[in-house]
Every structure is written in C-alpha cells, then in structure tokens.
Amino acid sequence: MRRATHGVVVAGLLLLVGARPGSAVVMNVLAGSDYMVTQPGTEFAGVPFEGVPFGPGGSDTIIQRLDNVDVTSGPGITPTVLSGLELQTTAPVNFGLGTGIYYVTLQSVRGGPASTGTLDITQTSPDDNTSANPEGTFDASFDVFFDLRFGSLTGPIALSSDLMLSSTGNLWDADPSPTDIVVTGPRGDLAANEHTGKIRNVDIYDMDFFPVGVITETDGEDTHKVVSPEPGTLMLVGAGLVLLVGRGRRA
C-alpha cells in the first residue's frame, strides 16, 4: 500500500530542485480517457433519460484528453473528444417519430463531425497519492454533435443538432476514488486513465486525472450535471448529457 505522504514529499523535493536557476521540473497531467455513467433521474423538460452501457465499468459516456498537460507554472490546455455517448429515455415519449423509446448517439458514429472541446487544467496542490485531497481545478468546454434516434441506437433519426457546453472550477485528483472506473494502461495509452510507467524524476512528475464532485455544464440556457463518485458510496460518475436532446428538440 502506498503511503499518503510519499507523493507530497516527492513532489515537494522536485519543486525545490526545479527552483534552482536554469532548472525546472515539469508537473505533467497525462493524456487519457474519462469514463462516466449516467445516473438515474437525469432528465430534461420532465423526460427522464438513462445511460446505455457500452464501455468499461458499464460507462455510457467517454471523453478522451488527447495531449499531456504541463501545469508547472499555471493552467495547461488539452484538446478533447467525446468519443462515446449512448443514452435512452426511461419510458416511451414522442419526439416527432411516434411514441416509443428515443436514443441519443454521437453523429461521429455515422461519419458525422466529431464532438470536440478542451480541458483547461490547473494544479493547486502537490499529489498526495490519495483521492482525499484534490490536486487542482479544471474548466471544460465541448461542442457536442448528436443524433436523437427512434426505437434503437441505430433507428431513424428524429433530429440532429449540436450543443456548446461549458463548466468552470471543477475539481480533479491524480488518484482514483474507490468507486471510480479504472482502466490501466502504459504511459501514452489514450484509453487508460491510470497509467503505468509514469515518469517521476528531477525533470518531470507525471500525474493521472480523475474528476471529483459535481460538475455542472451549461450553454446559458440548458444545464447538465456530471456527478463524480464519492469514496464509500456505490455511486459512479454520472452525466446529464440528455440536455442535448432538449436543445435539439427546440431547434
């Protein structure tokens, strides 16, 4: 078992080394994926939605952070892509093609535009090798291109649209909580969120990235919430991206 103080000591020593003239240690957040599970009760305009599991840990929403982020001296930005999203109504409704179950999928699965964005990551405290104390904050923005389909994930499209979503001041930790979905892979593996082979020497200190707490995203009209798990609960990461449907319905 790792000691909670180990990361603090190592990070502190590296920062001291980096403070020498002509020397700098890079505090580095590794590229990887964030796996999320939509929570029961997610709704828009009174219409409940739930996730359709397809990914690791039953995840129904996957975001990839495409670049490593240097947070040594301030915020660092990585491009992102929403690489997976599957939702469905919890009961029959009518979005224009008849009454039944409607599904949200990404336009990219049929060759349409990718849903891309950015994460702006800031580190505010050293990595303590636990999930108890967040390492920093991040801001997020996404341009989500989605389809609303009738009857199945590949059914006829009731509408297609895109939605700009953003959030600020969210928390992140370099270590997973007991209820996080963890996918392990080597440094450089974009599918992983916990990496082996992290570099930690006098030149660089690698960290992983796990969202913490409730994340609220909005376009000024619509709002969705991403709920990160809390240690000791059965709750997994949730996503309220169902609001994509609501915005498209009004288009």
Confidence check: pLDDT of 244 > 90: no
Q: Which residue has the tokens 């999320």?
A: 36
60-73 residues labelled b (16+ CB within 10 A) or e (exposed): bbbbbbeebbbbbe
Confidence check: pLDDT of 1 > 50: no
Q: What angle do CA 241, 134, 240 make, to 5 degrees?
A: 10
Confidence check: pLDDT of 118 > 90: yes
Confidence class for position 143, pLDDT limits 50, 70, 90: very high
Q: Distance from first CA to last CA of the chain, Å, rounded?
A: 53
Amino acid 58: pLDDT: 83
Amino acid 174: pLDDT: 97
Confidence class for position 228, pLDDT limits 50, 70, 90: low
Amino acid 150: pLDDT: 97
Amino acid 61: pLDDT: 84
